[in-house]
Amino acid sequence: GEQVEQLPSSLIVQEGASVLINCSYTDSASVYFPWYKQEPGKRLQFIIDIRSNMERKQTQRLTLLFDKKTKHLSLHITATQPGDSAIYFCSASNNRIFFGDGTQLVVKP
Amino acid sequence: EAAVTQSPRNKVAVTGGKVTLSCNQTNNHNNMYWYRQDTGHGLRLIHYSYGAGSTEKGDIPDGYKASRPSQENFSLILELATPSQTSVYFCASGDAWGGRAETLYFGSGTRLTVL
């Protein structure tokens, strides 16, 4: 079945820095890739998504890039703030939804 | 915004006891899911449902049962709880058939401790 891998597993940055979270998947049948954010002790919340017929999507400080050929996604967060501290999950969806193990981001003030 | 409510928020159970985790969603979503979240394992799918009366096994169904008596409610049942089932459990609902383009809406989680 589908396997979703995220790297890095954790990163610590200073406020204002940009970060890049990478995600790869294995099943070429996956067509939809939502990302979720989980703040400490909270529920997962949808933050951005992209479909397999797109290459790029941007919303506010988030930019999501998708390479169908290499089965790779990357989430770019600019001008990070302490409120961005959370676990970020990549997911891939075909007939089922598969999650990566998450990337823990800590933004220091 | 989709509303998914889980109860209880915290639960302490004894080994061998029966535990029922409840989930209610108010957005008329067809699909509902139960995940557990453990450090180092991300989210693992236990059971899911495509609608009232249906339940399907996920990736780690052993030791768990599920029940979907209505569109709104989806329960996870541990008939004989074990310490290895100590975890945080999340319920989610989704708004597309088959998961091909589905955004999930999560509950706040239930922290279960089995002693």
Q: Tell me: the pLDDT tens digits for B16-37?
A: 999 999 999 998 899 999 999 9
**Model pLDDT, residue A2:** 86
Read off the pLDDT band of A47 (50, 70, 90).
very high
- List of long-range contacts for B100-104, beta carbons under 8 Å, 24+ apart: B100/A31, B100/A32, B100/A93, B100/A94, B100/A95, B101/A31, B101/A32, B101/A51, B101/A93, B102/A32, B102/A34, B102/A93, B102/A97, B102/B31, B103/A34, B103/A46, B103/A49, B104/A34, B104/A36, B104/A44, B104/A46, B104/A97, B104/B33
Read off the pLDDT band of B101 (50, 70, 90).
low
Q: Tell me: the pLDDT tens digits for A25-42?
A: 999 999 999 999 999 889
Out of B40, B98, B103, whose CB is closest to A34? B103
For residue A54, the chain B residues in CB contact (below 8 A) are none
Measure in Å the smallest separation between the Cα of A103 and chain B Cα atoms: 10
pLDDT (mean) for B89-114: 85
Q: Tell me: the pLDDT tens digits for B36-88?
A: 999 867 899 999 999 999 999 999 999 999 999 999 999 999 999 999 999 99
Across the interface, whether the CB atoms of A31 and B98 are under 8 A apart is answered no
